[in-house]
Amino acid sequence: MAAVVKLGPGKLCYLEKLIPQHHEWQQWEVCYCGICKTDRALAWSDQSEGRVLGHEVVCRGTDGRYRVLNNEIPCGECEYCQEDWVSHCLHKQELGITHHGGFATHICAPDSSLHTLSLSDPRLGVLVEPLACVMHGLSRLTHAAALQHTSAPLVLIVGSGVAAKMFGHLLLHRWTQAHLALCDIHDDAMAWAQSYPIVCQQTPQDRHYHMVIECSGSRDGMLTALAAVRDAGVVMIYGVSQAGETLPVSAREMFERELTLMASMSGCTQSIFLQALSYVEQHQAFFATLLGKKTDLRQLPYELLYNPPLPGTRSWVVMSPGRTGSGD
């Protein structure tokens, strides 16, 4: 199979022939794969050396049907799995991180990890996994909402990337009592929200919001979130920060303001993953707006290392330049 392999920090190589791993798993043809911020971070890190990255994968079986991959394979037996915290499984296997992933023409994966797509445009399948992660975050946030003494909280989203857009769409459709606001340093980055009942602003009001979701992963974004959250409010860290980045808040301030600080990284249980798949199927027009630049496998090393995505979109890889499909 052809694949892009990580050789070291900032070193990726396109190979025409790579021997697949895990022959006990079925081999699937990879059609499309999203380029996630996690992939970009891994490409520059000292992790996953010798691996094929890519975990937002759409495959096709010998029956010609498109399927989407849940890349997390938990052991099902450890204490975390028993409590349904599969993303913290002590023996977890992750395709695209600990095992070869989707930046290749083929991938080996258990049949139970793939789910049939019913989409007019199968490329949208690359957005199911990131949506499942956002759904996990929203689930954690709604549980934290019990700390607020209101049924109609003021919620601020900081940043306007793909995750922020997904949070906004989910909040509007699933938490209709919430009053939603969006903050980004660039006005044009918030243009997508103009057709929704979302208040857009570059500088949010200080100590005003019951809950703030920080999606930018930047230090400035975190400072904005901490300034905007009201006393006794909740701040969720969702954006991926730089390695070694520390919180710009003291323990004393956290104590005096009675802030609740929480984080959400991933959480692709089968249940949440299937919910995400169903949600994408129901809202295909919205998710189509999130697809950004297309690249092919040969051009992926440069694209992954040096070309950021268009604002608010997910770049994606098509494995066969001759593949036909909506938008290809």
Percentage above 70 pLDDT, the chain:
96
pLDDT score of 116 more than 80 = yes
**Percent of the chain at pLDDT exceeding 90:** 79
- In the predicted structure, residue 324 carries a pLDDT above the cut 50: no
Average pLDDT over residues 205-225: 96
Domain with CATH 3.40.50.720 in the chain: 132-263
pLDDT-derived band of residue 183, with 50, 70 and 90 as boundaries? very high
> Please, where in the chain does CATH 3.90.180.10 lie?
3-116+290-318
Higher pLDDT, 155 or 328: 155
Average pLDDT score over residue span 202-224:
95
Q: Whole-model pTM?
A: 0.93
pLDDT band for 276, please (50, 70, 90 cuts).
very high
| Residue 122 vs residue 195, higher pLDDT | 122
Confidence check: pLDDT of 327 > 50: no
pLDDT at 321: 54
3-state secondary structure the chain: CCEEEEEECCEEEEECCCCCCCCCCEEEEEEEEECCHHHHHHHHCCCCCCCCCCCEEEEECCCCCEEEECCEECCCCCHHHHCCCHHHCCCCEEECCCECCCCECEEEECHHHEEECCCCCHHHHHHHHHHHHHHHHHHHHHHHHHHCCCCCCEEEEECCCHHHHHHHHHHHHHCCCCEEEEECCCHHHHHHHHHCCCEEECCCCCCCEEEEEECCCCHHHHHHHHHHEEEEEEEEECCCCCCCCCCCCCHHHHHHHCCEEEECCCCCCHHHHHHHHHHHHHCHHHHHCCEEEEEEHHHHHHHHHHCCCCCCCEEEEECCCCCCCCCC
Q: Region 122-126: what's the mean pLDDT?
A: 98
Mean pLDDT of 264-281: 90
Average pLDDT estimate for 110-139: 96
What confidence category does residue 188 fall into, taking pLDDT thresholds of 50, 70 and 90? confident
Q: What pLDDT is attached to residue 95?
A: 95
Q: Closest by alpha carbon to 164, among 177, 178, 183, 142?
A: 183
Q: May I ask the CATH class of domain 3-116+290-318?
A: alpha beta
Higher pLDDT, 187 or 91: 91
**Which pLDDT does position 147 carry in this prediction?**
85
Q: Under CATH, what is the fold of the domain 132-263?
A: Rossmann fold (3.40.50)
For 7-55, what is each residue's pLDDT tens digit? 999 999 999 988 776 678 999 999 999 999 899 999 999 988 999 999 9
Q: Which is more confident, 47 or 102?
A: 102
